[in-house]
Chains A and B, each alone.
Chain A
Amino acid sequence: MNPVDAGRRDFLGRSAAFAGVALAPGVVLYEIALARETGKAASPAVRWGMLVDTTRCASGCTACVDACHAEHGIPAAVRPTDAQWIRKVELKDLRTGAIRSAPVMCQHCAEPPCVDVCPTGASFKRADGIVLVDRHTCIGCRYCMMACPYKARSFVHEPTTGQKTDTPRGKGCVESCNLCVHRVDKGGAPACVEACAQAGHRAIVFGDLNDPASEIAVRVRAATTTQLRADLRTDNGVLYQGL
């Protein structure tokens, strides 16, 4: 780095720190930058993603799962077929005995098999990489459930009650993690990410993979990360570190 660049970097760093201080408590600079204007469509320049640091994810902690259920009004699963948007998985390396714990949810693939097989167009990928089900057009055929390599999708078998305004859910449709799209559109982070940070683990990082300055892009550049079943070349938006 030449001296001019060093000076510039120092100046930018200090002005960014000043902006951070000047803002009201609880208002983070990057959140304001990410919040989309009213009436604007999701941008294809953005690729939302998550990084799960399995070395920080605590075995037995279900903060992310509980927060997801509370956010989306999903009752606790009673039957094996009840809806499940996110689950905790423990992996053990039989050779070394190493145990890793991590949440698994919709991986928000760039090439989602669930979208390929959907006969009605209900399963779709939004411009910013979030894979969703449009329940207005879902006929409940469950092809997407069979196509998904990550078992991310659930079918709602029973009538639903206690829905939240931002998460309509009903019997006869398939559903899965929507990356808390209502929060993301307001510039926030998904409920599981917030819950993990509140529980003190900070094992999940959310952000724009396409923005080189975002925390997730910096972390992904620095550390070795894996996509689950990378051999399928679905190019997941959820990345795992330390697996």
Chain B
Amino acid sequence: MRVTGAGLLALALAGAAWAGAARAPVLDAPRGEQCVEDAATMRRSHMDFLRHQRDETVHRGIRGARHSLAGCIECHANAKDGAVLGSPSHFCQGCHAYVAVKLDCFECHSSRTRAAQAGRPASSP
């Protein structure tokens, strides 16, 4: 089986169990060395992290903690269009479509990096 470089990175990050699953989505390669938590924890609990931190930030004004949605987007956005939505390989959309979980965040939140919003070219992964 031939695997492309991007595919290999995505699969390596996704972990053995995930890679073994039938027709697992091939997602955009993230930027940076590692995520704020390990992949299995993030896959299961990212929404709990986000929900906890959003209350701390909105109501108490605590900024700069590690589990931020804006932080997710900055690393996981597509290298070309700077977005996490748009095609089955875009990070958030690809996985949520695969597991059939509705994705509400981006009804209000921007799905693009700050650079993409400002019209600057997206940086390389």
Residues of A within 8 A of B (CB): 36, 38-42, 73, 124, 126-128, 132, 134-136, 160, 162-165, 168-171, 173, 181, 185-186
Q: Which of A73, A124, A170, A181 is B107 in contact with, Cβ under 8 Å?
A: A170
Q: Which of A38, A134, A163 is B64 in contact with, Cβ under 8 Å?
A: A38
Q: Which of A41, A136, A163 is B62 in contact with, Cβ under 8 Å?
A: A41
User: How far, in whole Å, are A160 and B110 apart by their CA atoms in the complex?
Assistant: 10
A39–B59 CB distance below 8 A: no
User: Does residue B60 face the partner (Cβ distance < 8 Å to A)?
Assistant: yes
User: How far, in whole Å, are A171 and B109 apart by their CA atoms in the complex?
Assistant: 11
Q: A163-B109, A170-B108 are in contact. Are A134 and B59 (CB under 8 A)?
A: yes
User: Closest CB of chain A to B56's CB: distance in Å?
Assistant: 8
B63–A185 CB distance below 8 A: yes
User: Closest CB of chain B to A23's CB: distance in Å?
Assistant: 23
* Residues in chain B near residue A124, CB distance under 8 A: 59
Closest to B117 in A: A164
User: Does residue B20 face the partner (Cβ distance < 8 Å to A)?
Assistant: no
* Residues in chain A near residue B70, CB distance under 8 A: 165
User: Closest CB of chain A to B108's CB: distance in Å?
Assistant: 3
Residues of B within 8 A of A (CB): 54-56, 58-65, 70, 73, 107-110, 113-114, 117
User: How far, in whole Å, are A124 and B58 apart by their CA atoms in the complex?
Assistant: 10
Q: Which of B58, B59, B65, B108 is A163 in contact with, Cβ under 8 Å?
A: B108
* Residues in chain B near residue A162, CB distance under 8 A: 117
A160–B63 CB distance below 8 A: no
A39–B64 CB distance below 8 A: yes
* Residues in chain A near residue B64, CB distance under 8 A: 38-39
Q: Which of A38, A42, A168, A186 is B109 in contact with, Cβ under 8 Å?
A: A168
User: How far, in whole Å, are A165 and B62 apart by their CA atoms in the complex?
Assistant: 16
Q: Which of B56, B65, B108, B113 is A173 in contact with, Cβ under 8 Å?
A: B108
A38–B117 CB distance below 8 A: no
* Residues in chain A near residue B59, CB distance under 8 A: 124, 126, 134
A126–B54 CB distance below 8 A: no
Q: Which of A39, A42, A164 is B65 in contact with, Cβ under 8 Å?
A: A39
B110–A168 CB distance below 8 A: yes
A169–B62 CB distance below 8 A: no
A127–B108 CB distance below 8 A: no
Closest to B57 in A: A185
A-B pairs, 6 with minimum CB distance: A170-B108, A42-B61, A38-B64, A168-B108, A41-B60, A163-B110
* Residues in chain A near residue B56, CB distance under 8 A: 41
* Residues in chain B near residue A126, CB distance under 8 A: 59-61
Q: A163-B110, A165-B110, A170-B108 are in contact. Are A39 and B62 (CB under 8 A)?
A: yes
Q: A128-B61, A165-B73 are in contact. List 4 more A-B contacts (CB 8 A).
A: A38-B63, A73-B110, A134-B59, A135-B108
User: Closest CB of chain B to A157's CB: distance in Å?
Assistant: 14
The residue in B56, B62, B114, B117 that gathers the most chain A C-beta atoms within 10 A of its C-beta is B62
B107–A36 CB distance below 8 A: no
User: How far, in whole Å, are A173 and B55 apart by their CA atoms in the complex?
Assistant: 17
User: Closest CB of chain B to A21's CB: distance in Å?
Assistant: 30
User: Closest CB of chain A to B110's CB: distance in Å?
Assistant: 4
B108–A160 CB distance below 8 A: yes
User: How far, in whole Å, are A170 and B55 apart by their CA atoms in the complex?
Assistant: 18
